[in-house]
DNA sequence: AAATAAAATTAGTCTTGCCTAATTTTATTT
DNA sequence: AAATAAAATTAGGCAAGACTAATTTTATTT
């Protein structure tokens, strides 16, 4: 199996691949992991040797079929543990990500499947991210953000793109969670700030950066 | 906090300390961990620097108050996860130890306590080992083995001293689990084999080695 | 007590996964 | 196209934690 570090690279590449259809470069990986690009180059060589990725200067980094499978399993474990921590152990929204970062690396052939069953086969994790099934398939992944909205109107919070506790705590303060109904009232042309109404309450203004981290369902 | 390796050494020293009141030597630790004695000496230096142990050639290795506390927490986490794996995820008796070996290293300030609560504050793990409480205290630890019995008579299986799957599978085959009533019928002087009756059924003979791994309550 | 065996320790090496600094390659400007 | 900037890569190093081999210390025999 893979080392902790290899798994973190795989997961990182998987996330970059899902986030944008863009070319995945060593620099992007380095930034995402907080590592030095030189270290990334080392690891890319190792992952290539293990047939988990293909790296072509023109195309950037791509996961092989095996790499995708392995990365998906790590993500599956991460998201299942998040559900467990929140639902069973009573952790708060903003606490579970970091703990799941460690739990996701526990390797046992049937652990994910047993946990999945124990949790009742959840489709989404507490941040609204779809949980890959045992066969690798997963439910719809939302991609439109609040900041993407061109015109005023209603939407529902489907997921969040940021799992830092500062962001999640801000959401809690605003009384926003998965499923919350939001009305976009106005977009300020100057800085793309968003004037919104949360659950029909009085209007609030949030930043563009904030809007970009909220995935919505229309 | 401590590295994975440091935690494994701490736990090992804790176990050796509990097992026998004997002097804990680098060689004993090396054997127990399957490491080279030279590596152990390196690590003892590090643990000493971190004030987790005291090492004196005469007295051997001793845990400091902090070392005991830290080791107890690791054991607490291990045993709680074992209960979780068996009771909640439906693993078998012989599968849980190895997975808990990994889970015990997950560090989060409240994880053990939340898990403890979720599991209903169990006193013993599935192998009959007492689970340290949040305050470090723990229930009675059985120390008499089946092999220690001098005369024929009845006893109850309280715990097992060996967590290898070959041993646990043998127990399952013999229909022995925690709480099973065993009658010692005869001890063969030649090799200390034990003739026993399990739950009142027909007699079986087990080895001395087997008897030494079964902790009993009289 | 001397001889021998066992245990502990030191010295030096290896791998993993990271780093910095220097260099080369690729992209972007002017 | 040349100049400049950015990205990628190479080279060399470091710390952790293991190893082997050699040496020193301690224990056990004779």
Mark out the alpha helices in A84-124 (DSSP H runs): 96-103, 111-118
Token pair, residue A14, equals 């998987």
Question: For each successive 10 residues of chain A (218 residues), what is the average pLDDT?
Answer: 96 92 93 97 97 95 97 98 98 96 97 98 97 96 93 94 91 95 95 94 94 93
Q: List % helix, strand, coil for chain B (3-state, nearest 5).
A: 45, 20, 40
Q: Is the pLDDT assigned to residue B197 strictly greater than 80?
A: yes
Q: Chain A: give the shortest CA distance to residue B102, in Å.
A: 6
Give long-range contacts, CB 8 A cutoff, 24+ apart: B161-168: B161/B212, B161/B213, B161/B214, B161/B215, B162/B213, B163/B97, B163/B127, B165/B94, B165/B95, B165/B97, B167/B210, B167/B213, B168/B93, B168/B94
CA–CA separation, A152 and A186 (whole Å): 6
Query: Inter-chain contact A102–B99, Cβ cutoff 8 Å?
Result: no
Instruction: Give the chain A residue whose CA is nearest to the CA of B116.
Output: A89
Query: Inter-chain contact B91–A102, Cβ cutoff 8 Å?
Result: no
pLDDT given for residue A1 in this prediction: 86
**Mean pLDDT over each residue of chain B, to the nearest integer:** 95
In a mutagenesis test of the B interface, which of A80, A86, A95, A108 is the best target, namely the one with the most B β-carbons within 10 Å? A108
Report the predicted TM-score, pTM, of the whole model to 2 decimal places: 0.92
């Amino acid at each position: 199996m893979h080392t902790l570090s290899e798994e973190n690279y795989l997961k990182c590449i998987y996330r970059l691949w899902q986030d944008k259809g863009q070319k995945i470069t060593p620099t992007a990986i380095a930034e995402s992991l907080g590592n030095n690009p030189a270290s990334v180059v080392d690891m890319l060589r190792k992952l290539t040797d293990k047939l988990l990725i293909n790296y072509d200067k023109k195309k950037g980094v791509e996961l092989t079929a095996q790499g995708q499978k392995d990365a998906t399993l790590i993500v599956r474990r991460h998201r299942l543990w998040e559900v467990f921590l929140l639902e069973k152990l009573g952790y708060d929204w903003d606490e579970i990500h970091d703990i799941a970062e460690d739990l996701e690396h526990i390797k046992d052939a049937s652990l994910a499947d047993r946990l999945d069953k124990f949790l009742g086969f959840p489709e989404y994790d507490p941040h609204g991210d779809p949980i890959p099934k045992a066969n690798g398939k997963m439910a719809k992944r939302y991609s439109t953000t609040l900041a993407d909205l061109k015109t005023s109107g209603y939407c529902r919070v489907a997921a969040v793109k940021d799992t830092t506790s500062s962001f999640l705590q801000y959401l809690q303060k605003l009384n926003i969670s998965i499923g919350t109904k939001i009305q976009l009232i106005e977009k300020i042309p100057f800085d793309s700030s968003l004037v919104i109404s949360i659950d029909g309450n009085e209007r609030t203004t949030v930043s563009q950066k904030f809007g970009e981290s909220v995935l919505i369902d229309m």
